[in-house]
Structure 1
Amino acid sequence: MRRGGQLRTVESKPLEETSSRLARFRAELDRLRRGSNASMYHWLGAHITEHNGTQGTRFAVWAPNAVEVSLIHNANGWTPGQDVLWGSDSGVWSGFIEGFGQGDAYKYAIRTQTGETLEKADPLAFYSERPPATASVAWDIDSYEWTDSDWMIRRASTNWLERPISVYEVHLASWKRPEDGSKYFNYRELAKQLVDYCHEMGFTHLELMPMTEYPFDGSWGYQATGYFAPTSRFGTPEDFMYFVDHCHRNGIGVIMDWVPAHFPTDAHSLARFDGTCLYEHSDPRKGFHPDWNTLIFNYGRNEVRDFLLSSARFWIDKYHIDGLRVDAVASMLYLDYSREDGEWIPNQFGGRENLEALQFLKDMNVELHGQFPGVLTIAEESTSWGGVSHPVYNGGLGFSIKWDMGWMNDTLHYIRREPIHRTHHQNELSFRMVYAFTENFMLPLSHDEVVHGKQSLLSQMPGDYWQKFANLRMMYGYQYTMPGKKLLFMGCEFGQWTEWNHDSELDWALLGHEKHDGLRLFIGDLNHFYKTHRALFEADFDPTGFSWIQADDAQNSTYAFVRTSSDGVEHIIVALNFTPVPRHDYRVGVPVSGFYKEVLNSDAKIYGGSNLGNQGGVYSEEVPCHGREHSIAVTLPPLSIVAFRPISAKPTPKAAASAVPTGRRKLSE
């Protein structure tokens, strides 16, 4: 970072550039006290500006219990007490430092009521030194010229709940790494590579694991210290803006993981910021998280609430982020989360609900949806709490979408079983439809399923080498054809054998091997198939968009269902065979008569399958089945998913077409 010459504090009262500006600043501080300021980043933090014709940086930090706050930096030898900020009744300390500018590193030296001096990073810093260094860095984030206006206009008018959403979840530090031995690609390099890859694979959105600055690589970003600073590991704020901009210009949405549930105890961060429990609760029964050894925000304090609301708003406002996936929502909802009796404090009504956190989440969703139409808020919430994705005005929490952790757990429990045992657990998959339309669900196969000894998804599959790939293709096909938006973690698309390691890149060397290439091709074709058939996404959250054909053939471990578009015109018939035994002339009831074209077959040779199929499709017959007047007799390949679409005319026969994939071009290696 830049190391400037001698700097000095402007002697006149700080922030009195004009009387109108001072009045506005005081008004913002009053809003902060009242808990109605969700744009603190305009006023607090370090802002490069001009004061009485002099270039410098205006600083403002909330530290109401401090005795003194001064700025420490290179030019004053990082010596406390030299560049002292002005205090105020609001608890905000502020001042203007002449000559302090772009790239200069700093911290606040906070003298506490006990005489201790704490050196703290700026809670609202826009940029930070690259870890393991921990100082904040002055940076102008308003100079980038955005070129994504077409995307932003479309986003605001799009009802994403009725559009295809297929998310590729990425940890930027370990997706790919440079061949020259350096640890990371920068944001601009990653932008081009990831956009090209998403286009090749057909994903609609990227989900980035937390980009907020964090000190410890092993936390994967989930223990943030900079709630307004993109991590400097991959470049500058402008570099990250370019990343988002490039995604948008190429039709890819960007979702970011965001963590308001807890924060780390690092000395330079928010913990006991002014010598008191400012951001956290003082009582560990409310303020300490036993699972992660972290601190829990005091959601009932206006200034803390506004700090988090401002952070959520900031990423959408300044970085054009398309959605926030809020991590660990369940831990926020319950006061007794991961606690035994006597380790938690009931709310004012004697209950276990965290009323302040609930109100914060509602306020966040109302703010974001009201100010930024088309932006998604996604909850990682693992309990049966009702109404997570219902509007706040209707008694819900207001999220756009909720992760369906029940679907993920039930599906993996079932698919891990040897096929011979699946006959005894038929309801593990069918149970999901009992609750499937109670929320707006996303079906996640995320990083959490391939770490901590769980092994990779491919390694979790039962059977021999061939069966493992067949099971995984079938599971992905099941995910993409069930109601709900989709999410897949990086590396799962080509079948890593080892579980994810944040310290190294994905096993790209597996590409070039037939089965891995086939699996990756299948995911690409699934995305194409999903995006081009309205029946698979328009009515994801409406029971009219799904109906079982049969879900009780436990003897054969088969399922069949139909997906229907919102206007009732398009139908996709899906059948799954969860055994390694082919099922010939397997009869499935269908909603209309006609020719049923085979539009998806996970057993196609190009995917690594046995190439067993239905010769391009089958005609329906007037044979009642499954409560329907017409039915089709189909071949279900071993460990496979097949899908059919009714069409009005018989297609031209294709030579040697024993299996019909989606017809998408083969992916490049």
Structure 2
Amino acid sequence: MSKEKTENLDLPIYLFHQGTNYKAYELLGSHSGVKNGKKGIYFRVWAPHAEKVSVVGDFNGWNKDLTPMKRVSEGGVYEAFVTGLKRYDMYKYAVTNNGKTVFKSDPYAFHAETPPSTSSKIYDLSGYKWKDEEFLKNKTASYDKPMNIYEVHLGSWKKHEDGSYYSYKELKKELVPYVKKMGYTHVEFMPVSEYPFDGSWGYQVTGYYAVTSRYGTPREFMELVDEFHKNGIAVIADWVPAHFPKDAFGLYEFDGTCCYESDRWDRKENKGWGTRVFDWGKNEVRSFLISNAIFWFEQYHIDGLRVDAVASMLYLDYDKKPGEWIPNEKGGNYNLEAIDFFQKLNAAVFERFPNALMIAEESTAFPMITKPADVGGLGFNFKWNMGWMNDVLSYMQCDPYFRGDNHNKLTFSMYYAFSENFVLPISHDEVVHGKRSLLDKMPGEYDDKFANDRAFLGYMIAHPGKKLNFMGYEFGQFREWAYEEGLEFFMTKYPKHAALQQYVKYLNSVYKSYSPLYEIEDSWNGFEWISADERNNSIISFMRRDKSGRTIAVILNFSGLDFPKYRLGLPEGEYKMILNSDALRFGGKGAVRKSTYKTAKKRSHGREHSILLKLPRLTCMYLEKIK
């Protein structure tokens, strides 16, 4: 970001120390400017307990004594001005405390060396000509719109034969048209902020403002987002404000003390992850993190953030034994500073970007995650429904013979489905570490695995809540996700896998085309049970409605038995089959060929009218009321 004139920094520095400078990236980091008539780069960094700080780089032979920085605020902001520098020049900060000097990358750098190298790079983000004005102008709130998210790890969606990554430019040419062809509305990137260790999948960040250079430059990442927008696809990025790794060049004890992390013994470390935990009560940390959220929306036109590990932030006793934590000032286990941070974070984002997505990955029953802060909520607008995910995956892994004893796992989610604005997530976490791929979780022989999978996906699309699935599920990858390898797209050469991919594509198109499947997600006005208690048959059925009353009936047979004459109670009228997961073209048996049904005055499921249909085993059907 270019600054071609000397500025009065008193106000932005003051706000930074107050925790309310939400564009701190315009103050700190490296920025072009003018001093005494000479063009150069201003470097600014926050290191409150440092004895001295200097800038080092190729320009001064990495000599910590040649370019000292001046302390320009009592709160610990340091500044230096250096001439003769250009884009991509590398630098670090030499931070000295108690006579020990550590070379640190810039927490606010916009670009970085490709790991394992760790230097920051000078990079001006200005100048890119965005072409997504129409997309952004037409963007509205997502509550009553379809949201079908394709979760992607950019480093392993595809790889070259030599094992190298696809670049942002290559992903622009291949990933964007694939996501569009498959009919997704949103794409979600696993973390793209710079990180040192591939095995962390990006969840241990060292460069919060630097899009990872593994795949290219910041400008090329802008082009990727722009291309998604030009194709009508919104972009969500994973964001990690909970913790950071203990790499010496990163945020870890940045000024020789606990700077970004808490200095309290019970709060500064997540032992399970081997990371340090942010101090969300510290004003400068709030400025850093909230500014970072704003930065992704403003500079990269991101449409939403999926906020990682929210539960770990909300609870003082998260993953801790008795004696390993101290209660808050009210005697409870909530982290009050984290709660206040989330409320301020979400308020700041929505004030500037009213139609943004702020999605909490939160795995507990913490109340009002998606309610406004002024009524005591955290202020997110969506939350991952981890309870639904755990229940239904457990159910689906049961042999159909035993599903009757687990029927409540299929129906329990409706007790709380409207308590929050939910996203139904089948994410990367469910297909690693021995959990098996989605297709391989399914019981039975080869054909039954596909039949179970198709029925499950039909159920997921029909269940209230927005949708998220992890890459590879759509064509039935059998192998677990491995970040070191690309997806096994060659599997689509096999008929069953090709048919599953076509099923997912069609299912996605049905979801987008039929408003009863997405328009009312927050009340019983959009959902009505037909039959929730047929546990002995492992059958459920229900209706989805939109605001106009348009109706789709959904029936699912998760048993291993065919029901050749199943009577389904429905409102009087005529119905058209719009989805049959058992169709031949989707890899099914093709047992049902009838496409329209007219109700007869025969009582079933507490209704005066019903239809008679053939209900194959392991099948999902959608019936639209057309008259």
Report whether the alignment pairs 1:170 with 2:155. Answer: no
Please tell me whether residue 579 in structure 1 is matched to residue 559 in structure 2.
yes
Instruction: Give the deviation of 1:48 after TM superposition.
Output: 2.3
Distance, in Å, in 1 between the alignment partners of 2:460 and 2:32 is: 49
Q: Do residues 639 (structure 1) and 624 (structure 2) align?
A: no
Q: Is the 8 A contact 1:614 1:635 kept in 2?
A: no
C-alpha distance in 2, partners of 1:442/1:133? 37
Letter in 2 for 1:66: A
- Is structure 2 residue 361 aligned with structure 1 residue 380? yes
Deviation at 1:595, TM superposition (A): 1.7
| 1:106 aligned onto 2:94 | no
Match of 1:618 among 597, 619, 625: 597
Aligned with 1:136 (options 107, 114, 120) = 120
TM-score, length-scaled by structure 2: 0.98
Counterpart in the other structure of 1:337:
318
Matches of 1:136 and 1:544, distance apart in 2: 53
TM-score (ref. length: structure 1): 0.92
CA deviation after TM superposition for structure 1 residue 560, in Å: 0.3
C-alpha distance in structure 2 between counterparts of 1:624 and 1:50, whole Å: 83
C-alpha separation between the residues in 1 aligned to 2:214 and 2:445? 41
Instruction: Letter of the 1:70 partner, please give it.
Output: S
Q: Is 1:418 the counterpart of 2:402 in the alignment?
A: no
Alignment of 1:559-570 (within 5 A): 559-568=540-549, 570=550
Given the alignment, which residue of 457, 463, 476 partners 1:495?
476
Amino acid at match of 1:621: A
The answer for the alignment partner of 1:95 in structure 2 is 80
Q: Indicate whether 1:222 and 2:203 are aligned.
A: yes
Instruction: Output aligned runs, 1:335-374, within 5 Å.
Output: 335-374=316-355
* 1:628 aligned onto 2:607: yes
Q: Does 1:542 align with 2:537?
A: no
> Which residue of 2 is the match for residue 257 of structure 1?
238
Distance of aligned partners of 1:278 and 1:566 in 2 relative to their CA distance in 1, 3 Å threshold = same
Equivalent position of 2:568 in the other structure: 588
Corresponding residue for residue 450 of structure 1: 431
1:202–1:528 contact (8 Å) kept in structure 2: yes
Contact conserved, 2:310 with 2:360, CA < 8 A, in 1?
yes
SS in 1 for 2:305: strand
Separation in structure 2 between the aligned mates of residue 72 and residue 386 of structure 1, nearest angstrom: 48
- Render the CA deviation track for 1:186-210: whole Å, top value 9, x for unaligned: 1121022111101110000110000
* Matches of 1:428 and 1:17, distance apart in 2: 63
The one of 60, 69, 81 aligned to 1:76: 60
Q: How many Å separate the matches in 2 of 1:475 and 1:270?
A: 43
Q: Which runs of 5+ in 2 are unaligned?
A: none
- State the 1:618 CA deviation: 1.3
Shift of residue 427, structure 1, vs aligned partner: 1.1
Aligned 8 A contact 2:55 2:80 in 1: no
Give the AA of the match of 2:293. A
- Provide the residue aligned with 2:370 in structure 1: 389
1:441 deviates by 0.5
- 1:26 equivalent to 2:5? Answer no
Determine helix, strand or coil for the equivalent of 1:497.
Answer: coil
Show CA shifts across 1:348-380 (max 9, x none). 111100000001011111111111021100000
Identity %: 47
Q: Which amino acid aligns with 1:26?
A: D
Shift of 1:393: 1.7
Where 1:286 maps in the other structure, the secondary structure is coil
Secondary structure of the equivalent of 2:591?
Answer: coil
Q: Describe the SS at the equivalent of 2:555.
A: strand
The answer as to whether partners of 2:5 and 2:33 remain within 8 angstroms in 1 is: no
Alignment gaps of 5+ in structure 1 = 1-14, 649-669
What amino acid does structure 2 have at the position aligned with 1:246? E
| Counterpart secondary structure, 1:242 | helix
| Mapped contact 1:17–1:52 kept (Cα < 8 A) | no
Instruction: Return the offset for 1:29.
Output: 0.6
**Residues 163 and 485 in structure 2, CA contact (< 8 A), matched pair in contact too:** no
Question: Does the CA contact (< 8 Å) of 2:530 and 2:542 recur in 1?
Answer: yes
For residues 1-29 of structure 1, the C-alpha deviation after alignment (integer angstroms, 9 at most, x for no partner) is xxxxxxxxxxxxxx9954xx12xx11111
Indicate the residue corresponding to 1:660 in structure 2.
Answer: none
Secondary structure at 2:439's aligned position in 1? helix
Which residue does 1:238 correspond to in 2?
219
The one-character-per-residue Cα deviations of 1:130-164 (angstroms, maximum 9, x if unpaired) are: 00000000000011111111111112xx1211000
TM-superposition CA deviations, 1:591-647 (whole Å, max 9, x none): 3x2221111000011111000115112111112222222211111111010110111
1:556 aligns with 2:537: yes
Residue identity in the other structure for 2:363: S
- Decide whether the 8 Å contact of 1:48 with 1:101 is kept in 2: no
Is this contact kept in 2: 1:30–1:90, CA < 8 A?
no
Q: Secondary structure at the match of 2:244?
A: coil
Q: Secondary structure at the match of 2:34?
A: strand
Contact 1:48 1:139 in 2 (8 A): no
Kept after mapping to 2: 8 A contact 1:166/1:486: yes
**Aligned residue identity for 1:125:** A
Amino acid at match of 1:68: K
Residue in structure 2 matched with residue 659 of structure 1 by the alignment = none
2:590 and 2:596 map into 1 onto residues whose CA distance is 14
CA contact (8 A) 2:182 2:504 kept: yes
SS in 2 for 1:61: strand
* 2:513 pairs with 1:532: yes
Q: How many residues align?
A: 624
Following the alignment from structure 1 to structure 2, what is the Cα–Cα distance between the partners of residues 399 and 631?
Answer: 42
Aligned to 2:156, the other structure's residue is in SS state helix
1:200 aligns with 181
1:50 positional shift: 3.3
2:23 counterpart (39, 48, 65):
39
1:602 maps onto 2:581 in alignment = yes
Are the aligned partners of 1:614 and 1:634 in contact in 2 as well (CA < 8 Å)? no
Measured in 2, the distance between the counterparts of 1:507 and 1:632 equals 42
Distance in 2 of aligned mates of 1:50 and 1:480: 56
Contact 1:424–1:554 (8 Å) recurs in 2: yes
* 2:143 matches 1:161: yes
Q: Is the 8 A contact 1:598 1:614 kept in 2?
A: no
In the TM superposition, residue 471 of structure 1 has moved relative to its aligned partner by 0.4
What are the superposed Cα offsets for residues 240-262 of structure 1, whole Å, 9 maximum, x if unpaired?
Answer: 11111111111010000000010
3-state secondary structure, aligned to 1:321: coil
SS of equivalent residue, structure 1 residue 222: coil
* Structure-2 separation of matches of 1:524 and 1:542: 28
Distance in structure 1 (CA, Å) of the matches to 2:167 and 2:81: 33
**1:580-601 deviation line (CA, Å, top 9, x unaligned):** 211122111113x222111100
Look up the equivalent residue of 2:557 and give its one-letter code.
N
Partner letter of residue 531 of structure 1? K
1:4 maps to which residue?
none
User: What is the distance in 1 between the residues matched to 2:119 and 2:473?
Assistant: 37
* Matching of residue 149 in structure 1 with residue 133 in structure 2: yes
Query: Following the alignment from structure 1 to structure 2, what is the Cα–Cα distance between the partners of residues 182 and 426?
Result: 44
C-alpha distance in 2 between matches for 1:261 and 1:524? 35
